[in-house]
Amino acid sequence: MASALAVLTILASARLGSLRALELRTVDWRLRMPHPSPPLEDFVIVAITAETLDTLPRWGPSALDRGAYVPVIERLHEADARRIGLDVFFSGEGDDPATDAALADAMTRSGRVIAVAGADPTLEAARERPEFIPPPEALLPAVRRVASPLLFRPDGVVRWVITQQLADDGVTAYEALSRALVYDEVATVPPQVMINWAGPAGTVASVAFEDVHAGSIDPSTIRDRIVLIGVTDEVKDLFVTPLGLMSGVEIHAQAAATMLSGRYITEAPHVLALLVALPACMAVGLVGRGRRHWWTWGLAAIVVVGWFALGAIIFARSLVMLPLTGVGLAVLATGVVISALQSETALGSLARLWPTWVREEGEQLEVTVLVCDMAGYTARSETSSPTEVMAMMREFFALVDDVVEPLGGVAARRPGDAALVFFRPEEGRPHHARRALEAGRQLEARLAERWPEEDIGFGITLTTGEVSLGWVGEAPPEPQILGDPVNVAFRLQSECRERACPILADWETATADPEIGATMRPLGQVKVRNRTEPVQIFAPAGDGGRAQQT
């Protein structure tokens, strides 16, 4: 059992996006820890800030005039910059051919300028092949290399650099800007490099673009350094990194420093997680058998904490990333299952977890929500014993389950004297709104038949829209749905009482399927508490049932 759990959990952590995202959180946690990071003394940023744009002539809202770069490149060359990386794309021919000629001349005399191609900045996966646009013909012969400015961020966070990317033609290759900056000094680099962050934004030394333009900097701050020119975090070039928001030009500098220093971060093979998880899970399973729940869970927690601590120590000493999430989840799952198998209560809890069609917690799904609320419950409680009230509520919820389950309804939770059910799309079955309406009609008839007393009433409200699926509680956990349709369904209960309508539906439900619309009558719009937009409500045509009683 323990070994099977270990194998399944490790495989799941390698393939499920949610578990991979969790592992990336542990990667970010380790990257923020003190660890052997590359020196940054060889790099300096010439920063284009909001003040720069206010000081010098502009080509557009957030771009300098092309001529502003001419004296900057000349002064960097005079200060003996080792290389100059332009993280700025010049699109098309300039308005003034003389300006382009002057810029090209400055680049040629320097002989050290690396320019970037234009590319789609939304690259999210290494397998994509963007369309690269080289610098204009007037400047292209003057640059030493043309590099890619794209940052690899498949989940919105920059962690790696793809050192070489193919263009959309499948033939032309563009080095990453960080790779091109150190090409003459580092012969080979891995195809994908995890950036060894030396620190958060502001760690790389920088000088203001306008100061270089005016010649008011000490040349020693530039001499024999790799210089990057680009927009910094004071304007719009911000990216999410494990260490917080950072400008693209500083990310390129830290990535180039990683390659120049050779201090690469190594990710341990995924099979290592399996080799560690198997004996750890077997140990928890063997030792935990026959013991109290807290003892088994405590042992599993100790093993997990120990593995995470070991992972942090190894990374801090040798820059090796051990897989943490798969091992941790496998061990915890073993502890929970071993404990559950020894408890009838816990074993019964497992049967109440989400159905197998729910892929992951927090999943977004369009459903039809049904809320069935009992009125007169408080008054009945005052005149009945707690045992009688409990029996009535159990019968009420059992009746709801008996009606909705054949139609595909899933009981989410039972707040007080109300039942919350939702109907999801199912292949080969009628629309979920049709099935929810049918369940509402059956409930109206069954409830009126079972409780014909005038002091007991019921309101059934139906809403359709997108919800988020989740869990609440621990012993046992109960399915829960969150979202606007749930809130509206509960708010419309008051309309059932005021309008003496036992069934009410919103516009999305009434128009979800042609067969529904033909059987519904509009009742106008109502203002729902805590919601800015009014709700158009409908009732089944000819509805003459008994609504909730006030």
| Averaged pLDDT, 482-508 | 90
**Partners of 422 in beta bridges:** 369, 410
Please give the torsion angle defined by the CA atoms of residues 274, 280, 285 and 291, in that order, rounded to the nearest 10 degrees.
-160
Task: Determine how β-strand 173-175 pairs with β-strand 164-166.
Answer: antiparallel
| Mean pLDDT, rounded, of the chain | 83
- Listed range (187-201, 348-362, 393-407) with the worst mean pLDDT: 348-362
- Listed range (54-63, 367-376, 393-402) with the worst mean pLDDT: 54-63
- Listed range (98-107, 248-257, 289-298) with the worst mean pLDDT: 289-298
Q: What is the pLDDT of residue 168?
A: 80
pLDDT band at 292 (very low <50, low <70, confident <90, very high): low
C-beta of residue 140 within 8 angstroms of C-beta of residue 171: no
113-116: strand order across its sheet: 145-147, 113-116, 83-86, 226-231, 43-48, 206-208
Closest CA to 406 of 373, 443, 369: 443
Closest CA to 55 of 72, 80, 79: 72
Q: What is the pLDDT of residue 548?
A: 45
pLDDT band at 13 (very low <50, low <70, confident <90, very high): low
Q: What is the pLDDT of residue 327?
A: 78
C-beta of residue 134 within 8 angstroms of C-beta of residue 140: yes
Question: Measured over all CA atoms, what is the biggest interatomic distance in the chain, rounded to whole angstroms?
Answer: 97
Is pLDDT larger for residue 381 or for residue 259? 259
Q: Is the pLDDT of residue 125 over 50?
A: no
Q: What is the pLDDT of residue 347?
A: 40
Q: Is the pLDDT of residue 540 over 60?
A: yes
Q: Is the pLDDT of residue 503 over 70?
A: yes
Q: Is the pLDDT of residue 473 over 80?
A: no
Is pLDDT larger for residue 12 or for residue 443? 443
| Averaged pLDDT, 243-259 | 95
Q: Is the pLDDT of residue 350 over 50?
A: no
| Averaged pLDDT, 5-32 | 70
pLDDT, one tens digit per residue, over 421-464 is 999 888 888 999 999 999 999 999 998 888 887 667 789 999 99
CA atoms within 13 A on the CB side of 50: 4
Residue 337 to residue 321: CA distance in whole angstroms: 28
| Averaged pLDDT, 360-374 | 83
- The amino acid sitting at 375 is A
C-beta of residue 333 within 8 angstroms of C-beta of residue 10: no
Q: What is the pLDDT of residue 250?
A: 95
- Predicted structure pTM score: 0.59
Tokens representing 366 are: 């369009």
| Averaged pLDDT, 267-278 | 75
Residue 222 to residue 151: CA distance in whole angstroms: 26
The number of angstroms, rounded, from the C-alpha of 359 to the middle of its chain's C-alpha atoms is 16
Tokens representing 478 are: 């109960």
503 Cβ contact list (under 8 Å, min separation 6): 437, 440, 441, 444, 460, 461, 462, 496, 539, 540, 543, 545
Task: Determine how β-strand 113-116 pairs with β-strand 83-86.
Answer: parallel
Residue 68 to residue 206: CA distance in whole angstroms: 18
CA distances from 367 to 436, 482, 533 (A): 10, 11, 20
Q: Using CA of residue 36, residue 41, residue 43, residue 46, what is the dihedral sign?
A: positive
Is pLDDT larger for residue 500 or for residue 253? 253
C-beta of residue 363 within 8 angstroms of C-beta of residue 461: no
Closest CA to 396 of 410, 378, 416: 416
| Averaged pLDDT, 190-195 | 94
pLDDT band at 528 (very low <50, low <70, confident <90, very high): confident
Which of 22-26, 298-302, 315-319 tops mean pLDDT?
315-319
Torsional class of 524: left (φ above 0), alpha (ψ -120 to 50), beta (otherwise): left
**Partners of 164 in beta bridges:** 175
Is pLDDT larger for residue 405 or for residue 280? 405
- The amino acid sitting at 203 is T
| Averaged pLDDT, 305-310 | 90
Tokens representing 100 are: 């382009």
Q: What is the pLDDT of residue 418?
A: 85
Rg (CA), the chain: 32
477 Cβ contact list (under 8 Å, min separation 6): 349, 352, 353, 471
| Averaged pLDDT, 138-144 | 91
Closest CA to 48 of 341, 349, 292, 250: 250
Q: Is the pLDDT of residue 190 over 80?
A: yes
Q: Is the pLDDT of residue 314 over 50?
A: yes
Is pLDDT larger for residue 449 or for residue 194? 194
Give SS3 for 214.
Answer: helix
Is pLDDT larger for residue 511 or for residue 417? 511
Q: What is the pLDDT of residue 180?
A: 95
Q: What is the pLDDT of residue 274?
A: 67
Q: What is the pLDDT of residue 202?
A: 92
For the chain, what percent of residues have pLDDT higher than 70?
79
